[in-house]
A and B are shown apart, each in its own frame.
Chain A
Amino acid sequence: MGAQNRYRGNFQGTDSIIELYGVSTVYAGEKRPAIKDITFSIEKGEYVLISGPNGAGKTTLLETILGLLKPRSGKIKLLGYEIPRRALEARKLCSYVPQDFIRSPDEVFKAKEVVAMGIASNRPLGKLRRDDWRRVEEALELLGISDLAERPIGKLSGGQQQKVFIARALVRDPRVLFLDEPFSALDSKSRIFLSDLLEELHEEDKTILLVAHAPPELKSIDREIYMVEGRIEKVIVH
């Protein structure tokens, strides 16, 4: 709650949720930046698709905004917090579905435990309340994987594992949702379901940043940022 109040105070009257000014990120040992001189802002409730070919810097961009990668130059603000300096506070209000989610068959954590970890991150010392487990059940039910709750995540199929990660992101009730290729392992029926679900979240005024290489038909996208070789090639307003 405190974090939400600070967020309002820091915004100086703008509605921007994400702001980037001349951001470049270089991986350790590399000379060429993975993203170069990126400047844009995303308003509250916007649904933005980041697309482009392989190696365009889409994932790097998401991880730089979240402060998981340190930018070499430029300024970033996420929910009013300066990134990476105050990244931990900003991330409490966000959810991230990573691109690399597949777990090995010997992964021991159960699906419901993985989803519960999403809530535990926002609780003091990670302690869960009884009500939190009800939310976990609801998230699993929403994604249609209630029957997998007790199964170790490593024993699930790629698509099922991806749904567990999406459930973990949604159970946090985030202000900003970062999704990196969330359709990659899903079958056609599940892709349509997730696409509809994202539309609903958009209607609920959630800010969504979606990285997708070949997304299904996305009706309610506000903007598409097309990247090539670490730069923004074009911005398409829908």
Chain B
Amino acid sequence: MSLIIYAILASAISGSLCGVSGTLISRLRISTLVFAIAHGALCGAALGLAIGADTLITAISIAILTAMIIGPISDATGIPSSTIAMVLFSIYNALTFIFILLSPGPALAAEKVGGILWGSVLAVTNRFLTLLIATLFLYVLILRILWRRFQSILFDRELAESEGVNTKLYVYLLIILVGVIITLSLKIVGGFLVFSLLYIPAACSMRISDHLTGRITSSAIIGSLSGISGVLVSFYLNLPIGACIVIAASIIFVISILIAYIK
């Protein structure tokens, strides 16, 4: 397959996964946690560059580690998890800059460094696409099987907990999945912009549907459309793929606001 087909497929899958995740994260009010995980993934990728390891593996490792340590640190210190997440976010930012400067070759000019910061179409390899498709299947499968559980937690986490639901288990499962999705998407849209792809489709979907399943479906479609149109514009105008995807998502967001306003 040609590079553009690979890029379109990967961006469409990545966009839909990010869109769905953004909608779920907003409902759970764990945006700051996911913010820390996203920057953990970026830091992990930078670490991979610095030590010459596989950036995907180091990024996923730090993202999952972050998802798993925020809760226990919060429990042990009595400090809210959102504050712990922001502390980690700052640490990760500092470490990312250090690792980038330590990476071999001229800092920031290297193609690999640029790839993790603002995304690269060259990241879409056969292995990467397979990983994305596997993640998509796993994500859909888990959401389908556990949807009633997630529904209850998304409505009121404390009430679900009072009814004997192990909410921590399900929320952590979701956070880890989102960590993996962010890490994979980071390769396409880059560490600076991945967060936009999580929230812009979610924000659009609020304008489109009054039901949660409708919002999830529409955020998946909008994320996917943003990915496809972003790749096409990027190829046509020779601009960074990540920035083009986010601009495409932003244009859809403005259109959704205008449609809602006209209605």
Contacts and interface: CB of A to CB of B under 8 A. Distances in A.
B78 A28 contact: yes
Interface string A72-102: 0000000000000001111111111010000
Contacts of A29: 78
A201 B149 CA distance: 28
A31 to B, nearest CB: 12
B165 to A, nearest CB: 5
Classify the interface of chain B: helix, strand, loop or mixed.
helix
A79 to B, nearest CB: 11
Q: How large is the interface on A (under 10, 10 to 19, 20 to 34, 35 or more residues)?
A: 20 to 34
Given A28-B78, A29-B78, A108-B210, A91 B151 contact: no
Interface in B189-215: 206, 210-212, 215
A172 B163 contact: yes
A66 interface: yes
Given A108-B212, A109-B212, A126-B146, A96 B152 contact: no
A122 interface: yes
B164 A125 contact: no
B258 interface: no
Nearest to A93: B164
A60 to B, nearest CB: 14
A98 B210 contact: no
Contacts of B212: 108-109
Interface in B204-257: 206, 210-212, 215
Given A29-B78, A88-B166, A68 B161 contact: yes
Contact of A91 (B162, B211, B215): B162
Contacts of B152: 117, 120-121, 126
Contacts of A178: 162
A91 to B, nearest CB: 4
A148 B56 CA distance: 50
Interface in A204-220: none
Contacts of A126: 146-149, 151-152
A95 B148 contact: no
A89 B161 CA distance: 11
B164 A120 contact: no
Contacts of B260: none
A108 B164 contact: no
A66 B149 contact: no
B54 interface: no
B145 interface: yes
B68 interface: no
Q: Which 9 A-B pairs have the closest CB atoms?
A: A126-B148, A121-B163, A92-B164, A91-B164, A96-B162, A126-B149, A28-B78, A117-B152, A120-B148
Interface of B: 78, 145-149, 151-152, 155, 158-166, 206, 210-212, 215
27 contacts: A29-B78, A68-B162, A88-B165, A89-B164, A91-B161, A93-B164, A94-B162, A94-B163, A95-B163, A98-B158, A98-B159, A108-B212, A113-B151, A113-B155, A114-B155, A117-B159, A117-B163, A120-B149, A120-B152, A121-B164, A121-B165, A125-B146, A125-B149, A126-B147, A126-B148, A126-B152, A178-B162
Given A88-B165, A120-B148, A121-B165, 8 more contacts: A93-B164, A96-B162, A108-B212, A108-B215, A109-B151, A109-B212, A113-B155, A117-B151
